[in-house]
Structure 1
Amino acid sequence: MTPHDPWVLRTANTVYAVTLAPDEGWAELAAWGPHGAEQGPSPLDWSRRTHFITPADAAPAEYIPYGPRPFTGADLVAGRPGEERGVWWRFTGASADGERALRLVFTDETLGLTTALCYETVPGTDVILRWTELTCTGDAELRLEQFDSAAVNIPVTDTARLTYLSGQWSREFQLTQLALTRGRFELASTQAVPGHAYAPWLAVQDAAHPAEGATPTYGIALEWPGSWHMTADAEPGGAVRVRAGRLPHEGAVRLAPGATLTTPRLACAFSPDGLEGLARVWHRYERRLSGDRSHRPRKVLYNSWEATGFDVEATGQLELARVAADIGAELFVVDDGWFTGRDDDTGGLGDWYPDPAKFPGGFDRFITQVHELGLDFGLWVEPEAVSPGSALHAEHPEWVYRVEGRPVTLVRNQLLLDLGRTDVQDFVIATLDRLLGTHAISYLKWDMNRPPTERGRPGGGPVESQDLDAAHVAGYLRVLDHLRTAHPHVTVEGCAGGGARTDHATLARTDVLWPSDNTAPLDRLSIQYGYLHAHAPHTMSAWVTDAPGVFDPRPRSLAFRFVSSMSGVLGIGADVRKWTDAQRAEAARWVARYKEIRDVVHHGEVRLLGSPAEPTCGVQYDEDGRGTGARTVVTAWNTGPLDGAPLVPGRAARLRLRGLDPAARYRDEQSGTVYGGGYLLHSGLPFHWTAAHDAELVVLTRADGAAAGSPTGAHRQP
């Protein structure tokens, strides 16, 4: 091929084209967008005139090292220990698998480094995976200071709108936007997990267009449950270049002769339909991550934590289980506090044996009693954690992260095991095998409640050769992979003090994730709103808990809490023993309704109707297939003012639905009202809110050929 002939990758609806720069010094993006976007000059094409920077500094390069690109941000910084940094490579080959995969190879013979840029499309989605393979081909060790997974170039006319997910513990996944005309913006975590503060996810749009609607929208997400960064540079000439990759704890890693370092995969997605369209691209991708497991029904869960805390004992747990079964729960999970030495958060972690004092009839007898109620049984664990007073720590003090001769910091009164060690991995695997092999457990909640501090491994060799972050990630994934293989019947929930470990590597190996420890109704609504922009509803565990909740003092109805939790994977965490008969009866009705529509919620096309910042917002889920009988589920909430009702005349609040057939008819399954599709698209679905009626679940069934009745706003109760 000539330097100007592009390689083309094609997904279901998009195209990604890459070409070599004229001097063959690097690869450049030629096109990324809908099919046909490659048929014309690249929107990133430039004159190659520069002043005070080099051509490589201005190029829309797919990946470029420090050396030819000295000023504006390199993707790779490497050299030999003690020598000058820099890679000066040349293009040495390419291989392609049609329009499905591509591999471009660049070589620096002097340094002894081969760099392969790897691309792969994901069938049935509009996602392209990118990663880099770095191989030391010389006889001397290399030092890698920076080794991003990829760089992503995005054409904007002037100012870029960046959308990202920010927050803190109990306020994760807050949808946040920033206008970037010039300069640099960075997201990162150095906590050995993606973290509560930022998610490894970013969307970029041209700020000249609205955020929603027919707006070209580009997104990236890093598949890495360790430390990471994303850096966006608004460059001269009207373009944004985003670099993303993992951050080594040691600041650099060593690459031995003959060794290859493979970076985490960066998922790159495009939608012409704004942030909401991009969300649907991510949802389709995440349904493929875990294969057929994504289609398993997510059972209605009851978790005992908020009802009992550490005060776990068989009688009280069974009392909760009986009520949970009566209202329709399908799974009972005992949370923290079930094992020996665990009366509070100061002890027990690492000694994973059921406490005989808490289960005097035996743990297996307790599980049998739960099963006799018609419930599956699940258990909470924190495999990476250890209490200083535990038997495990006394036997293996060398298994925790520590710096020789320095004090250790307790977080939540616990330490963290060095899961990068093979012997620690073997212990965790043996522990989980014992629990799952000895007891009839079908659900496991894996928690992690502290990041590593004093992160060292005495006796582990030179610091830069340890690569502790990558080792911990490899150990974590090894254990999860083992669970998948050895215990395929077990549903695994991922959690890290809430949503601190939410990434595609974890999502591929777990069945659901816990987005936040905050279950307060209004707070949770905004958390879930952000989460659904990046992640699929079948992965989002959500609980109904007691209002006003732990963090949010504002009361909300039981209906509000159920409809919110039914927007993902329904769970219940309230102390149901204290619920009145009327509350239990209402809960049973909601649970029954959820079971009828959960397949649509988990696998339908999602549309986000407004935001929690508005008085009325909702989520629309459209069942696959648009023929007669196809269902549209709408979860809706009143978040704030009631427009003076009932003191002044008012009209119903409305949510305009999207994506429906304007010529079709849609029947409200509960009220019987038949709406025209054009009516729902133009006038919207009506809701008559009151102080006591602040949420609704509406199920619309496509009824082609039915006569439209008067579209009323009749109240729909469970």
Structure 2
Amino acid sequence: MAIRFDEEQRTFHLQGKSTSYVMQLERDGYLTHQYWGRKIRQFRNSNRQQYIDRSFSPNPYNRDRTFSLDALPQEYPQYGNSDFRKPAYQIQMENGSTVTDLRYKSHRIFSGKPKLAGLPATYAGQEGAETLEITMEDKLLHLEVVLLYTIFSEYDVVARSAQFRNKGKQKLKLLQAASVSVDFRRSDYDMLTMPGAWGKERHLERRALQAGIQSTESTRGASSHQQHPFIALMEKHVTEEQGEVFGFHLVYSGNFLAQAEVDQFATTRVTMGINPFDFTWLLEPNETFQTPEAVLVYAADGLGGMSHTLHEFYQQHLVRGEYKDKERPILINNWEATYFDFDADKIEGIAKAGSELGIELFVLDDGWFKKRNSDSTSLGDWFVDKAKLPNGLVDLAKRVNDLGMQFGLWFEPEMVSVDSDLYREHPDWCLHVPHRYRTESRDQLVLDFSRQDVRKEIIKRVSDILESAPITYVKWDMNRHLSEVGSALLPPERQRETAHRHILGVYEVMDEITSRFPQVLFESCSGGGGRHDPGILYYMPQAWTSDNTDAVERLKIQYGTSLLYPIASMGSHVSDVPNHQVHRFTSLEMRGDVAMAGNLGYELDLTKLTSEEKEIVKQQIISYKEIRRLVQFGQFYRLKSPFEGNETAWMFVNEDKTEAFICYYRVLAEPAAPLASLRMKGLDDAKDYRIIGTSEIYSGDELEYSGIRIPTDLIGDFVSYTWHLKAE
């Protein structure tokens, strides 16, 4: 069994592939955290908790000054009864008090993994996973908190969440409800987070833990470009291949908080969940509240080990649908080629050029619907603009299909323009606060998806379009964050539930539409990577990694994203120069080499390419089709970090280690460039590999330990080089 309960020691021992997670019941039902790390065959509590008299740490038991919750490592800590660290949850009673006292009531262990009502979550069948359900109880309040733990036999992953059940007669108000809390008995860790901005998503920031609280959070109503719902603690010496890493990733797309608190005794408490800022939830008698899921991942072999676990785990236990394991098509998107200025003939011309180059999918971006000639109008009016497309989407899709290409479409279903028929008809359908100014961004507001009538109408409008033509791909955009967060239908005591109810509504709409159209490949987007998170990945198997398509900027963006997400989830396009975001000139070769390290696409006017440029693109597409499955579903290794120097390198290896693709990039020319080599990873030491296109053959161990010479004829700024290996 993967989960064992030792009645004598009162311990719960969860065992994954190479990890153990251990809890123990102390005294009168306090649930304590004892261990998380490398797999232990038999846990006998060799490093048991020591109880000593600590000044200013109060004692729940009279005359026993050695026992205090203030020094106890707990699984789901509470507020108000001698623990002064930040709690995992907080509840306000009708009398205004907020002190609670949870104790163990019961537990059960069962095969498989339950679904979380209304929320995305990882999944498993009856085999390969076991779940522990621990029911904690506050007897005075008749409150039950059910702690859920799922362990996976083939992964070093624990999935955690909590469920609050009001079994009493009074109304309870949740002020905080974290998904996970873990108490570490040490603080000599580095903390890794992923801050960023629009066009600068998921950069890496590593810093030593300090006394007090350090955190990463979003209050924007989305997981955001600015922060990411991820935090990791790692040993000081951690590299790509060495050292212990403890990762926490929240399967949620709204406001979040992830924090690490180092206390007076040099222990560390990590808490993650819905951001308690501007959040409450009224829990009526007999009602239940479910927190989002947190994925906890342990790696003994560095950041690369954590990435390998998450890539495979998410691909097999989070991504769903027809495209889960299916190769993704090479696409051409017209956005940077035309913006809003197009008609059917112009689109057909770009599609024809793409077809001649071997591109498989044409995506019609923003501007195809009612009077949408700029970004200041028409969102919500999801009806074809007959001025631009007089014969509708059916005619345009047929033209594209006749060229041997699939047809895709852009939507922004969660938004409404102030200048739109929808807003004029239903001004109360957006998020707003009565008598307050409605802050606009790109002249648009956010539809209130906490309302069933809004959700129902948007599902109908989007479905009608998807049923009207042979559409096989949807780019689902979301181009602003939430302000004036209020709902016209919620009573005053529930207004601070709006942000969470809204994201639950987004999930419901996504679930309904993706279920209705299983043949459609959905790609999520939020100004690029502003909502590239595990919650959305559950509904849509890939995301537009960033609006920034500059090849140099993409090195850091794609490197950071690869820390957590499968490569098959990353949209990566070749765009025009000067780049539309940073105005940099890079070679078409480098732009292609960067974009081929994800789901390849193009975002420029193909009709304006020279014959030489068309030949380069054609060869890129031919090459990518040869390595597509390897890149999208192979094992990914980071070789050189753009955050540490002038060079970046990474590689892909297939499952049986018979093929590999290696990419090297240098940003700026160096006057005395080192005669460097690139050491590879993941190859089979016993195999010999031929470099495709040459007569060179090298053994796997030589390529890994001695490396391969980086060509010295890479001249100038912004250069790249790739190797394609096949075993002999």
TM-score w.r.t. length of structure 1: 0.93
Choose which of 675, 683, 699 in structure 1 pairs with 2:698. 675
Give the aligned partner of residue 510 of structure 1.
540
Bigger drift between 16-25 and 533-542 goes to: 16-25
Query: In the aligned structure 1, how far is the partner of 2:376 from the partner of 2:704?
Result: 56
Query: In the aligned structure 1, how far is the partner of 2:667 from the partner of 2:521?
Result: 33
1:130 aligns with 2:153: no
Query: In the aligned structure 2, how far is the partner of 1:662 from the partner of 1:441?
Result: 46
Query: In the aligned structure 1, how far is the partner of 2:724 from the partner of 2:452?
Result: 51
Deviation at 1:248, TM superposition (A): 5.3
Choose which of 673, 691, 695 in structure 1 pairs with 2:716. 691
Question: Which amino acid counterpart does residue 238 of structure 2 have in structure 1?
Answer: P
Query: In the aligned structure 2, how far is the partner of 1:251 from the partner of 1:486?
Result: 33
Give the aligned partner of residue 425 of structure 2.
395
Deviation at 1:46, TM superposition (A): 3.8
Deviation at 1:491, TM superposition (A): 0.6
Deviation at 1:442, TM superposition (A): 0.8
1:230 aligns with 2:255: no
Deviation at 1:32, TM superposition (A): 1.7
Choose which of 216, 225, 230 in structure 2 pairs with 1:196. 225
- 1:405-453 Cα shifts (integer Å, max 9, x gaps): 1211111111110011001110111011101111111111111111121
Deviation at 1:53, TM superposition (A): 2.5
Give the aligned partner of residue 266 of structure 1.
294
Give the aligned partner of residue 297 of structure 1.
327
Give the aligned partner of residue 349 of structure 2.
319
Give the aligned partner of residue 63 of structure 1.
76
Give the aligned partner of residue 616 of structure 1.
647
1:184 aligns with 2:209: no
- 1:590-623 Cα shifts (integer Å, max 9, x gaps): 1111111111112111110111242332111111
Give the aligned partner of residue 18 of structure 1.
23
Query: In the aligned structure 2, how far is the partner of 1:496 from the partner of 1:441?
Result: 21
Q: How does 1:327-342 map to 2 (within 5 A)?
A: 327-342=357-372
SS at match of 1:315: helix
1:700 aligns with 2:725: yes
Cα-Cα RMSD:
1.9
Structure 2 stretches lacking a partner, 5+ long: 1-5, 59-67, 112-128
Question: Which amino acid counterpart does residue 723 of structure 2 have in structure 1?
Answer: V
SS at match of 1:230: strand
Question: Which amino acid counterpart does residue 282 of structure 1 have in structure 2?
Answer: L
Query: In the aligned structure 1, how far is the partner of 2:46 from the partner of 2:214?
Result: 25
8 Å CA contact retained: 1:160, 1:240: no
Choose which of 441, 466, 478 in structure 2 pairs with 1:411. 441
Q: How does 1:124-523 map to 2 (within 5 A)?
A: 124-156=154-186, 158-207=187-236, 209-247=237-275, 250-288=278-316, 289-291=318-320, 293-464=323-494, 467-523=497-553
8 Å CA contact retained: 1:303, 1:333: yes
- 1:256-284 Cα shifts (integer Å, max 9, x gaps): 00001010000000111111111111101
Question: Which amino acid counterpart does residue 662 of structure 2 have in structure 1?
Answer: V
Query: In the aligned structure 1, how far is the partner of 2:71 from the partner of 2:283?
Result: 29
8 Å CA contact retained: 1:111, 1:138: yes
- Structure 1 residues 178 and 361: alpha-carbon distance in aligned structure 2, compared to 1, 3 A threshold: same
Deviation at 1:700, TM superposition (A): 1.2
Deviation at 1:296, TM superposition (A): 1.1
8 Å CA contact retained: 2:21, 2:35: yes
8 Å CA contact retained: 1:182, 1:233: yes
8 Å CA contact retained: 2:177, 2:276: no
Structure 1 stretches lacking a partner, 5+ long: 704-718
- Structure 1 residues 205 and 6: alpha-carbon distance in aligned structure 2, compared to 1, 3 A threshold: same
8 Å CA contact retained: 1:330, 1:375: yes
SS at match of 1:338: coil
1:5 aligns with 2:13: no
Query: In the aligned structure 1, how far is the partner of 2:476 from the partner of 2:256?
Result: 22
8 Å CA contact retained: 2:29, 2:105: no
SS at match of 2:449: coil
Question: Which amino acid counterpart does residue 11 of structure 1 have in structure 2?
Answer: G
- Structure 1 residues 123 and 249: alpha-carbon distance in aligned structure 2, compared to 1, 3 A threshold: same
Question: Which amino acid counterpart does residue 658 of structure 1 have in structure 2?
Answer: K
Choose which of 26, 29, 38 in structure 2 pairs with 1:34. 38
8 Å CA contact retained: 1:568, 1:602: yes
Query: In the aligned structure 2, how far is the partner of 1:637 from the partner of 1:8?
Result: 46
Give the aligned partner of residue 708 of structure 1.
none
Question: Which amino acid counterpart does residue 427 of structure 2 have in structure 1?
Answer: P
- 1:328-357 Cα shifts (integer Å, max 9, x gaps): 111110111111111111111111111111
Deviation at 1:11, TM superposition (A): 1.9
Give the aligned partner of residue 117 of structure 1.
147
SS at match of 2:324: helix
8 Å CA contact retained: 1:136, 1:258: yes
Choose which of 581, 593, 596 in structure 1 pairs with 2:626. 596
Deviation at 1:49, TM superposition (A): 4.0
Deviation at 1:82, TM superposition (A): 4.0
8 Å CA contact retained: 2:238, 2:244: no
Give the aligned partner of residue 712 of structure 1.
none
Query: In the aligned structure 1, how far is the partner of 2:8 from the partner of 2:181?
Result: 20
8 Å CA contact retained: 2:486, 2:495: no
Choose which of 616, 639, 652 in structure 1 pairs with 2:667. 639
Bigger drift between 55-64 and 347-356 goes to: 55-64
8 Å CA contact retained: 2:439, 2:484: yes
- Structure 1 residues 40 and 582: alpha-carbon distance in aligned structure 2, compared to 1, 3 A threshold: farther
8 Å CA contact retained: 1:616, 1:655: no
Question: Which amino acid counterpart does residue 251 of structure 1 have in structure 2?
Answer: F
Question: Which amino acid counterpart does residue 463 of structure 2 have in structure 1?
Answer: D
Deviation at 1:478, TM superposition (A): 1.1
Divergent runs of 4+, >4 A: none
Q: How does 1:648-667 map to 2 (within 5 A)?
A: 651=675, 653-667=676-690
Question: Which amino acid counterpart does residue 198 of structure 1 have in structure 2?
Answer: Q
Query: In the aligned structure 2, how far is the partner of 1:609 from the partner of 1:44?
Result: 40
Bigger drift between 114-123 and 456-465 goes to: 456-465
Question: Which amino acid counterpart does residue 651 of structure 2 have in structure 1?
Answer: Q
- Structure 1 residues 555 and 190: alpha-carbon distance in aligned structure 2, compared to 1, 3 A threshold: same
Deviation at 1:50, TM superposition (A): 2.6
TM-score w.r.t. length of structure 2: 0.92
1:540 aligns with 2:570: yes
Bigger drift between 73-82 and 462-471 goes to: 462-471
Query: In the aligned structure 2, how far is the partner of 1:322 from the partner of 1:375?
Result: 9
Query: In the aligned structure 2, how far is the partner of 1:247 from the partner of 1:484?
Result: 28
SS at match of 1:592: helix
8 Å CA contact retained: 2:94, 2:170: no
Query: In the aligned structure 1, how far is the partner of 2:41 from the partner of 2:79?
Result: 31
Query: In the aligned structure 2, how far is the partner of 1:604 from the partner of 1:530?
Result: 18
8 Å CA contact retained: 1:3, 1:24: no
SS at match of 2:190: strand
- Structure 1 residues 64 and 370: alpha-carbon distance in aligned structure 2, compared to 1, 3 A threshold: same
Deviation at 1:382, TM superposition (A): 0.5
8 Å CA contact retained: 1:460, 1:466: no
8 Å CA contact retained: 1:58, 1:236: no
- Structure 1 residues 638 and 507: alpha-carbon distance in aligned structure 2, compared to 1, 3 A threshold: same
